[in-house]
Amino acid sequence: MNDQIPVKNVSPVKVHKPKKVDESKRYNSRSRIYVRAVKGPLESFRRFFGFFFIALFAAVPWIQYDGHQAVLLNIVDQRFTIFSLTLWPQDLTLLAYIFIVSAFALFFVTTFAGRVWCGFMCPQTTWTYIYTWFEEKCEGNRNKRIKLDERPMDVDKFLRKTAKHSAWIAVALLTSLTFVGYFTPVGSLFINFFTFDVGFWAGFSVIFFTVCTYANAGWMREIMCTHICPYARFQSAMFDKDTFTVSYDPNRGEQRGPRSRKLDHGELADKGLGDCIDCNLCVQVCPTGIDIRNGLQYECINCGACVDACNGVMEKMNYPKGLISFTSEHELAGGTTRILRPKLIGYFVVLLVMTGLLLADIVTRVPLEVDIIRDRNSLYRENNNGDIENVYTLKVLNKSQSTHTYTIKVEGFPEYEYIGEQVVTVAGGELYSLPISVATDPQNLSERVTEIYFHVSTTEADGSIVEVSEPSKFLYR
């Protein structure tokens, strides 16, 4: 108890007051990123990939199949037509399977090769590239665009800016019309829109998505990737040390610094230099404006533009390529990449299982839906013949795209009287409501509630029989 607590003299901490903020600059917009054009095998592949999916996106709504639009997602009528397949709200499991398969495909690809979806297939990236291409054609290369923006407004600058924004709006409008064409007949949409005869919701949708495309690809660009898109935030959960990502090799590149092209590659170590000449081309070509030499960053979309730019510089300097490359953390540390690993195999197995369930659901799907609704005004009634009668509404949904004739039967009684149509014809994709009554002798009813079945069947063109049995209740007393 007599031990004293040692006391240490501590010099007082000096508190630094924050500097006053210039209120006029508080809401300044971001520093604009001027992306430099780059050429190389990865860029060529990315362009081909982007153009392929753009062409597919633009062509699909115009494809005709069996006299109708091949792909039409009609939200108003709650009917999705995909070639010979027609989906209804009752087919929600198919939509769930499609989303699950897409999610695990994304997880699998990301675990293996990083954010290649963002760099090579994402619509935001592709449309941003298109907008950047128009920007270069109207305003010039990166340096010219910087000087043009620093210059006061004149006739030349006004004309260049007008041409650029006109091209952007035209691309946004065509994109929006094509997109809305997936949800309404595309042929009449184009005609009605340009003749000002389009409906309110279709017209509103076209204008809304035009503004969104123009704002996203023209103005927001990398903000969508770095601040809005959630995928950039949870990507790290799928990465491991064997994931292929765009990476800079610091062991080979450092120390950075400029040097003469005449300097032999073998003499770099003597001068304390690495392979990186600090040209900053990898930063200038990056669509999100990051420096890949600072390590893996969530803003990186794995587009490979910096890889092509750096390889071009290495080729001019007669250095080996691959200072920046698609590689793994294990390879950067001098090890080898394990392609087959538990997480990747797990994603692949789940992807195969869910794809199999999706295909099985499509193959075993019955193109007929039957729903039975009992009359709620009366439980039962006794007709003039002394029989007990129940009233129903039978709804027959033809989920195919061709007209079918259906035969209706009732099972559950040894004898019964069917009052109503027993043979109905329903057009493809139509819902037919049929009021019917079923009557039977009270002696056939041993219980207050008897389970009966409405059996609906039809014969396909190939001779196969499609049939559905739907249970219902027959009430008495």
At 401-414, the pLDDT tens digits run 888 999 999 998 88
What is the overall mean pLDDT for the chain? 88
- Residue 363 has a pLDDT of 86
Rounded Cα gap, residues 264 and 266, in angstroms: 5
Say if strands 79-82 and 71-74 run parallel, antiparallel, or are unpaired: antiparallel
455 beta partners? 409, 469
Q: Per this entry, what is the length of the chain? A: 477
Q: Give the count of beta carbons closer than 10 Å to the beta carbon of residue 63.
A: 11
Residues 79, 86 contacting (CB under 8 angstroms): yes
- Residue 59 has a pLDDT of 96
pLDDT tens for each residue of 273-325: 999 999 999 999 999 999 999 988 888 999 999 999 999 999 999 999 999 99
Rounded Cα gap, residues 391 and 409, in angstroms: 15
DSSP string, 120-144: II-HHHHHHHHHHHHHHHHH-SHHH
- Residue 4 has a pLDDT of 64
298 beta partners? none
Q: Give the count of beta carbons closer than 10 Å to the beta carbon of residue 18.
A: 5
Q: From residue 142, give the alpha-carbon distance in Å to each of 132, 158, 306, 312.
A: 10, 18, 16, 18
- Residue 34 has a pLDDT of 92
Backbone angles phi, psi at 29, to 5 degrees: -75, 170
469 beta partners? 455
Q: Angle, to 10 degrees, between the axis of helix 123-139 and the axis of helix 155-180? A: 150
- Residue 325 has a pLDDT of 94
Task: List domains and CATH numbers for the chain.
Answer: 41-87+122-235 (no CATH), 240-332 (no CATH), 368-475 (2.60.40.10)
Best CA proximity match to 90, nearest among 374, 458, 430, 397? 397
Evaluated on CA atoms 76, 77, 83, 88, the torsion sign reads positive
- Residue 27 has a pLDDT of 38
- Residue 62 has a pLDDT of 96
DSSP H or E stretch at residue 352:
helix 342-363
| Residue 230, CB-side half-sphere exposure with 13 Å CA sphere | 0
- Residue 71 has a pLDDT of 94
- Residue 264 has a pLDDT of 82
pLDDT tens for each residue of 236-275: 788 889 999 999 999 999 889 888 888 888 788 888 899 9
Residues 46, 304 contacting (CB under 8 angstroms): yes
- Residue 237 has a pLDDT of 81
Tokens of 388: 């007990």
Residues 296, 277 contacting (CB under 8 angstroms): no
Q: Which stretches of the chain score pLDDT less than 70? A: 1-31
| Residue 425: partners with Cβ closer than 8 Å, 6 or more residues away | 403, 404, 405, 406
- Residue 14 has a pLDDT of 46
Best CA proximity match to 444, nearest among 414, 469, 466, 465? 414
For tokens 């017209």, what's the residue? 203
Best CA proximity match to 61, nearest among 187, 195, 191? 187
DSSP string, 228-297: I-THHHHGGGT--TT--EEEE-HHHHPSP----TTS-GGGTGGGT--S-----HHHHT-TT---GGG---
- Residue 434 has a pLDDT of 93
Rounded Cα gap, residues 224 and 143, in angstroms: 25
